[in-house]
Amino acid sequence: MKLKDLEVFTVAPPVPGWGGRYWTIVRLTTDDGIVGYGECYASTVGPAAMLAVIEDVFDRHMRGTSAEEIELMFRRAYSSGFTQRPDPTVMGAFSGLEIACWDIIGKARGRPVHALLGGRINERLRSYTYLYPEPGRESAEFWVSPEMAGEAAARFVKMGFTAVKFDPAGPYTIRGGHDPSASDISRSVAFCRAIREAVGDKADLLFGTHGQFNVAGAIRLGQALEPYGPLWYEEPIPPDNILDFAAVQAGVRIPVATGERHTTKAEFAMLLRTGGARILQPALGRAGGIWEGKKIAILAEGFTAQIAPHLYAGPVEWAANIQLGASIPNLLMVETIETGGTFHQKLIKHSITWVDGYVVVPTAPGLGIEFDEDLARAHPYTGSQLHLQMQEAPPLYGAPNRFEGGAPSSIL
């Protein structure tokens, strides 16, 4: 069961593009013909450069090694370059390859991945979605309209969701943390008010940001949101300021959640040790893979912290999140693109089921999915942009900031 061949699919989801500009999905084949799929969530370099990194990590650290030797391959990728520290690009490449190894191991054993991680403790997983506009009604206005957000929240709750996420607090920029403008705060409060009025106590409010603010600004904004009781306050400051998360958590009465842009147990352990977050959101395609995700969950359990795996990518990372979530007692919920995502589900031949606000844990071997290679090849990404790109212009203070969510502006 030695790793032999690698193929990388850079898949462009069709309009409206929920899940990012493209998804980086890897296919590994062993010397005895077993195929496994994984997904890399890394946006630090363009797709051509990322392909080269994935190929280098595979050739240098994994080719010819048994798919079972997860720990050995992790230590090689983490340490061999005289680094021994979290690197989002290298670990992003390794993470997708590692997920594919678990898919292979499960298929070889005839067992789902969660059965190899301590067994299933959760048969179905509570899920949440971002608020998205109805198909065919996409517009830039949706992302800044409290009224539209309230209508969308009511629509998703009617589907069965018990938690919805939204991020009205303005753009994330290359300039690091900044103070929110008065309009950023007033719009965020208006969103919380409108959504709370629309759903009452039928759903939790998940307030998202993308590391926009400095510590003082994050506290000011968080305190303004407290009357509406959000379940979490996501990534309020840049991810590199790990020690500062504790200052934000001490200043607000909403649990801080973070982890999308953190990688490996080293960074998550620092968040736990300093009290910087009560909810961890590892993206398994960046954090180190499924085994590293399991270690992060075990660390969190010792601090009575909860896990809510992040997803703004394709369906293979979603499948990995579900397998991990099935095996951990401190799972809060898993992120889902709407009820699974139209193109997401097509790409895995509808092999994951969502019912009444919950994801049903697959029991088929490996990740439990069927990946449609023909469909992936029919939707290649041929551009050079990043999966997500931050705004270069500084935020506005004399006029409202407009943030269009995760969809490229060209489609709106």
What is the predicted pLDDT for the residue at 405? 53
SS3 3: strand
Tokens of 164: 């919805």
Could you state, in order of their start, the residue ranges of all structural domains in the chain? Answer: 118-366
Phi, psi of 31 (to 5 degrees): -70, -15
In single-letter form, the type of residue at position 51 comes to L
What is the predicted pLDDT for the residue at 282? 98
| Straight-line distance from the first to the last Cα atom of the chain, in angstroms, rounded to the nearest whole number | 47
SS3 77: helix
118-366 topology per CATH: TIM Barrel (3.20.20)
Count of residues in the chain: 412
Residue-by-residue DSSP string for 158-206: HHT-SEEEE--S---BTT--BPPPHHHHHHHHHHHHHHHHHHTTSSEEE
List, in order, residues 6 or more apart from 316 with CB less than 8 Å away. Answer: 23, 25, 37, 38, 39, 96, 99, 348, 367, 369, 371
Give mean pLDDT in consecutive 10-residue pieces for the chain, a chain of 412 residues: 98 93 97 98 93 98 98 97 93 98 98 98 98 90 94 98 96 89 96 98 97 97 98 97 97 98 97 98 98 98 98 98 98 98 97 98 98 98 90 86 58 38
Which of 168, 155, 157 is CA-nearest to residue 128?
157
What is the predicted pLDDT for the residue at 406? 54
Dihedral angle of Cα 210, 99, 289, 238, to the nearest 10 degrees: -10
On the 0-12 / 13-18 / 19+ scale of CB atoms within 10 A, 292 is buried
List, in order, residues 6 or more apart from 235 with CB less than 8 Å away. Answer: 208, 209, 210, 211, 257, 258, 259, 260, 261, 281
State whether the Cα torsion 90-96-98-104 is positive or negative.
negative
